[in-house]
Amino acid sequence: MHTRKTGRLVLAALATMGTLGLAQAQPDPAAKYQGAASAVDPASATVHRTPGAPDLTDAEFTQAKEIFFQRCAGCHGVLRKGATGKPLTPDITQKRGSEYLKTFITYGSPLGMPNWGTSGELTPEQIDLMVKYIQHTPPVPPEWGMAEMKNSWKVLVKPEDRPKKQMNNLNLGNLFSVTLRDDGKIALIDGDSKRIVKTISTGYAVHISRMSASGRYLLVIGRDAKIDMIDLWMKEPATVAEIKVGIEARSVETSKYKGYEDKYVIAGSYWPPQYVIMDGETLKPEEIISTRGMTVDTQEYHPEPRVAAIIASHQHPEFIINVKETGWVQLFNYKDIHNPSITSIGAAPFLHDGGWDSTHRYFITAANNSNKIAVIDSKDRKLEALIEVGKTPHPGRGANFIHPKFGPVWATSHLGDETISLIGTDPKKHPKNAWKVVQTLKGQGGGSLFVKTHPKSTHLYADSTFNPDPKISSTIAAFDINHLDKGYTVLPIIEWAGIKDGSLRVVQPEFNAAGDEVWFSVWNMKDKESAIVVVDDHTLKLKKVIKDPRLITPTGKFNVNNTQHDIY
């Protein structure tokens, strides 16, 4: 029951939320998608007690560790020192007190802290447990080095035993890899027939799928840091190699520079804070690089600078790596992986996700809690610009299109406000517009995770997955690129899906290879029906609803052709 006392607590908490990071915690990109669950093994951390914190039995402490690592660590950090969310260390949490903490966990905040209680995600008993737990000193998980990686590494089908050509009749360019988040699988969906080809068991809560340069190998990484390499040429696509590169992770990529196609795979971990270079056909781990070090702004040591986005350079034989908390972008040259040349470029703290401009020269990436976009010139290996944008930018890979007035632009939406920032990206033909916010669009509301368009499309799509208003989180804003001043058209995605039971959200527009369809995930609870809604990009009308009992908690979708060639 929402009593007057509870209401006063909520108002008081919101009024002072700047003093406690919990209130300002932004999803990474949201608490139930990228940032919520952490795959750190709860049993791997040492149980201990902290003076000044409420008592917990060993069993309670162990249970609370599991909830925190699964739900909270992605935003607040394994060591609770803050990341996309603010710090939750005992000096802060004990000062605020149990009633204050309970209010925040229960009701959340307008700036992105999930409403764990009122949404039903956590029971009142679990909330009470978490209130006590976060007042204790955080347990530290173990490291994960070469011995652990090699022990987890398996080659299920040797390269010499794999087919020499494609052995199936699939249109691989229009195949989609779809994350079945809470089922520990991906679904391969034929973009032509709209049917599931196969579901494949993977790590927990796959974060991204990436294609090898050749378009043969699909790499998926779970938040438990397990990588699966899937050979799409086999008569029935299947996993041919796997490895666990850490305890918690988000990113994987393959080498794309000419002459190095499919040669190397790189994966970055949230814990331990490091990245590893692997053989591109077997995933054999070759070299591990730690990211622990000083922050780019205050030059203070950070023990947990996690690896966020990784992207393969087209200008040099390099991987471009976002080191989240320290704000450094590293360019790892893989000409000689055992004696690597690493170029470090200072950007801004809390680097997260991003993608290429249309020329594949400039890497444009969000420093989300700094409210900045960093532009890295991958050819000249330097910081090109730091651009102020809206509250907590979260572009995914962003969206490139030709603005009728300002020329080539790249777009990002925001978790923290309703705006969409359009940034000029052509320093040669449009130098006055380059690396500036040339226009700010008003979307439906905050809580956006992804914007998307396609070179053959005249529409820009933005989701609002974590907006607290169900009318907004269940729909999509579609902008006409040639008439941006007219505002957006609302697409009633969940209404089209015809699902009424559950906690429904729409997430991540993704185009097919031809650029004439855009797919949206209708993401429901694990025990409820979910769907994928396909929209005709030309007419903005419903084209197809994909439903299947195997389609459990679909979130990210990755078209093979667009992912392989960095089209977005």
Report the alpha-carbon distance of residue 38 to residue 72 in Å, rounded.
7
Answer yes or no: are the C-beta atoms of 212 and 255 closer than 8 Å: no
* Active-site residue flag, 538: no
Query: Of 207, 352, 414, 454, which is the active-site residue?
Result: 352
Q: Is 360 a catalytic residue?
A: no
Measure the CA–CA gap between 113 and 348, rounded to whole angstroms: 23
Q: What is the DSSP letter of 410?
A: E
- Please pick, among 17, 72, 211, 278, the residue that the annotation labels catalytic: 72
Q: Do you find a cis peptide bond into 29, omega within 30 degrees of 0? A: yes
Structure token pair of residue 148: 């652990």
| Distance, CA of 48 to CA of 3 (rounded, Å) | 36
Spatial contact of 486 and 469, defined as CB atoms under 8 Å apart: no
> Which residues on adjacent β-strands are paired with residue 290?
274
Among this protein's residues, is 394 annotated catalytic?
A: yes
Determine which one of 113, 130, 149, 229 is catalytic: 113
Beta-sheet strand order (sheet of 175-180): 195-201, 185-190, 175-180, 554-559
Catalytic residue at 352?
Answer: yes
Containing H/E element for 100?
helix 98-107
Beta bridge partners of 312: 319
Residue 357: name the closest of 335, 380, 377, 337 by CA: 377
Strands 274-279 and 264-271, sheet pairing: antiparallel
Local structure of residue 552 (DSSP, 8 states):
-
C-alpha distances out from residue 519 to 22, 516, 535, Å: 33, 10, 6
* Nearest partner of 254 among 215, 226, 204, judged by Cα: 215
Q: Out of 136, 302, 360, 394, which one is annotated catalytic? A: 394
Active-site residue list:
72, 75-76, 113, 352, 394
